[in-house]
Amino acid sequence: MVDENLSPYLARALEGLLSADHQIEHIRNHFGAGLTDLSWIEILSQEGEWIILSGDRRISRNRAELAAFRSSSLIGFFLCRTLTRKPVRQQLIRILTIWDQIEAQARLVQPGAMFEIPERSGKFRSIG
């Protein structure tokens, strides 16, 4: 699931490239616009095993949102601040470059884990 802080075009591009193995949606297409972070975290957690791609690091700093995410069935990958400022094309290139690592990391960790996608390195940093 791609959150509202990243472009729907990014979600469409990922869906087009990865749909054989993954269901990728933009959160607006799933719920419509304007759903609070606490609401989508709760609903997606109940739906099952979603991996979240996000540009919203505030989730890791807001106590209620962080607690909700940590207790959810979700795993989050958050673009670092410099990546969120890049054009969508560059965000897409970076995500695709490390996609296999995202999948591998998601298989290794417990739900509720949150990681930063770095601009250059292949190592994820745990956040929250």
- Residue 3 has a pLDDT of 93
Dist. CA 66–CA 64, nearest whole Å: 6
**Is 25:2 a contact under the CB 8 Å cutoff?**
yes
R_g (Cα) of the chain, nearest Å: 13
- Residue 18 has a pLDDT of 93
- Residue 87 has a pLDDT of 97
Tens of pLDDT, residue by residue, the chain (128 residues): 999 999 999 999 999 999 899 999 999 999 998 889 999 999 999 998 899 999 998 898 999 999 999 999 999 999 999 999 999 999 999 999 999 999 999 999 999 999 999 999 889 999 97
- Residue 49 has a pLDDT of 83
Whole-angstrom CA distances from 39 to 36, 45, 62, 81, 100 are: 5, 10, 14, 24, 29
3-state helix, strand, coil in the chain (%, to 5): 50, 15, 40
DSSP state of 93: H
